[in-house]
Amino acid sequence: MNVKFEELPEDSRIWVYQSNRRFSEEEISEISIELEGFLESWTSHAKPIRSAFQIKYNRFIFIAVDKDFETSGCSIDSSVSFIQSLEKKYKVDLLDKMNVAYKTDNEIGFASLADFKNLLKNKSINEDTIVFNNLVSNIFEYNSNWETSIKNSWHSRFL
């Protein structure tokens, strides 16, 4: 059961999928249609899951689930399979958690964790650089702590 993202409560569970490249506007339209279709038919133990999606900066896909609607291991597996199908179709990485996205001059940068450490070391970015905390687990955390400075995120361990 696909609903508007804004209709979900703040304690709704959220998953963040970060692309290793920017999606084109055409791809965003196609992916949105595919997400709508997937969420509309997404079930857990044959019961619809109240869920929503959002795409930001042409690079991040968010899937959120109302916590009052049960998800199972099988339903989560089906969402991961869906994301893997997007990876294949659009030739992107969405599940690689060893990459970091950051914002400089209103542009989104993207680096492997090793390269990110070097950017800090070389002072190409600093503690005030905005990073994306893809470890957020619910909509409240997403709204309050997804975009944050390096010094206020888990990324600070590399300072």
Tokens of 142: 């997403």
Q: What CA–CA distance (Å, rounded) separates 7 from 24? A: 27
Looking at residue 126, its pLDDT comes to 97
Looking at residue 64, its pLDDT comes to 96
Q: How far does CA 37 lie from the centroid of its chain?
A: 18
For residue 111, give the DSSP letter. Answer: E
Question: For all residues of the chain together, what is the average pLDDT?
Answer: 94
Nearest Cα to Cα of residue 108 among 131, 87, 125: 131
Amino acid in position 130: I
* The pLDDT of residue 73 is above 90: no
Q: What CA–CA distance (Å, rounded) separates 116 from 138? A: 26
Q: What CA–CA distance (Å, rounded) separates 13 from 27? A: 25
- Using one digit for the tens of pLDDT, what is the confidence trace for 37-71? 999 999 888 888 999 999 999 999 999 999 887 67
Measured between alpha carbons, how far is residue 118 from residues 37, 43, 114, 134 in Å?
41, 43, 6, 20
Inter-helix orientation angle 25-41/73-90, to 10°:
160
Average pLDDT over residues 58-87: 91
Class of domain 5-90: alpha beta
Looking at residue 156, its pLDDT comes to 95
* The pLDDT of residue 24 is above 80: yes
Looking at residue 99, its pLDDT comes to 95
Start-end ranges of CATH 3.30.70 in the chain?
5-90
Q: What CA–CA distance (Å, rounded) separates 88 from 45? A: 27
- Using one digit for the tens of pLDDT, what is the confidence trace for 128-150? 999 999 999 999 999 999 999 99
For the entire predicted model, the pTM comes to 0.94
